[in-house]
Amino acid sequence: MTAIDPTILDAEARRARRFVRINKADAWFCVFGLSWLTPILRAAAGDNPRAQAGEVWRLLGVPILSIAVFVTMWATLAPTVQTSLGAVPGPVQVWEQVGELRQDSIREGEREAAFYERQDARNADAIANGNTNAVRDRIYTGKPTYYDQIWTSIKTVFFGFLIASIIAIPLGIAAGLSVTANAALNPLIQIFKPVSPLAWLPIVTMIVSAVYTTNDGWFEKSFLVSAITVTLCSLWPTLINTALGVSSIDKDLVSVSRVLKMNTYTKITKLVLPSALPLIFTGLRLSLGVGWMVLIAAEMLAQNPGLGKFVWDEFQNGSSQSLARIMVAVFTIGIIGFLLDRVMYALQSMFTFSNSR
Partner 1 sequence: MKKTLAILLATSSLLATTAAAQSLDLEKEDLTLGFIKLTDMAPLAVAYELRYFEDEGLFVTLEAQANWKVLLDGVISGELDGAHMLAGQPLAATIGYGTEAHIITPFSMGLNGNAITVSNEIWDEMKPNVPLMEDGRPQHPISASALAPVVENHLDRGEPFNMGMVFPVSNHNYEIRYWLAAGGLEPGFYSEQDISGQIGADVLLSVTPPPQMPSTMEAGTIFGYAVGEPWNQQAVFKGIGVPVITDYDMWKNNPEKVFGITAEFAEDYPNTTIALTKALIRATIWLDENDNANREEAVQMLARPEYVGADAEVIANSMTGFFEFEKGDVRPAPDFNVFFRYNATYPFYSDAIWYLTQMRRWGQIAETMSDEWYFETAADVYRPDIYLEAARLLVGEGLANEADFPWDSDGFKAATPAEDIIDAIPYDGRAPNAYIDSLPIGLKSGQTVIDGEIQG
Binding site for partner 1 (CB under 8 A): 84-85, 104, 114, 117-118, 120-122, 125, 136, 138, 141, 143, 209, 215, 221, 303, 312-314, 316-320, 322, 325
Q: To the nearest whole angstrom, how small is the minimum distance from the Cβ of residue 233 to partner 1?
A: 21
Which residue's CB is nearer to partner 1, number 131 or number 180? 131
Q: CA-to-CA distance for 165 and 49, rounded, in angstroms? A: 47
Which residue's CB is nearer to partner 1, number 264 or number 316? 316
Q: To the nearest whole angstrom, how small is the minimum distance from the Cβ of residue 316 to partner 1?
A: 4
Which residue's CB is nearer to partner 1, number 89 or number 245? 89
Q: To the nearest whole angstrom, how small is the minimum distance from the Cβ of residue 51 to partner 1?
A: 53
- Is 2 in a helix, a strand, or coil? coil
Of 247, 226, 253, nearest to 163 by C-alpha is: 226
DSSP label of 58? I
DSSP label of 88? P
E-state strands within 152-258: none
Which residue's CB is nearer to partner 1, number 267 or number 325? 325
Q: How far is CA 322 from CA 56, 102, 313, 327, 332, in A?
A: 39, 15, 9, 9, 15
* 83 φ, ψ (degrees, to nearest 5): -105, 175
What is the signed CA dihedral for 266, 270, 273, 275, rounded to 10 degrees? -140
Which residue's CB is nearer to partner 1, number 35 or number 105? 105
Q: CA-to-CA distance for 241 and 288, rounded, in angstroms? A: 13
Q: To the nearest whole angstrom, how small is the minimum distance from the Cβ of residue 98 to partner 1?
A: 15
Half-sphere exposure of 260 (CA within 13 A, CB side): 13
Which residue's CB is nearer to partner 1, number 74 or number 115? 115
Q: CA-to-CA distance for 350 and 340, rounded, in angstroms? A: 16
> What b/e string do you get for 62-80 counting C-beta neighbours within 10 Å, with b at 16 or more?
eeeeeeeeeeeebeeebee
Q: To the nearest whole angstrom, how small is the minimum distance from the Cβ of residue 102 to partner 1?
A: 14
Which residue's CB is nearer to partner 1, number 4 or number 81? 81
- Is 227 in a helix, a strand, or coil? helix
Q: Cβ–Cβ contacts within 10 Å for residue 287, how many?
A: 27
What is the signed CA dihedral for 63, 64, 70, 76, rounded to 10 degrees? -160
Q: To the nearest whole angstrom, how small is the minimum distance from the Cβ of residue 227 to partner 1?
A: 18
Q: To the nearest whole angstrom, how small is the minimum distance from the Cβ of residue 141 to partner 1?
A: 5
Q: To the nearest whole angstrom, how small is the minimum distance from the Cβ of residue 290 to partner 1?
A: 25
Which residue's CB is nearer to partner 1, number 286 or number 311? 311
Q: CA-to-CA distance for 152 and 74, rounded, in angstroms? A: 30
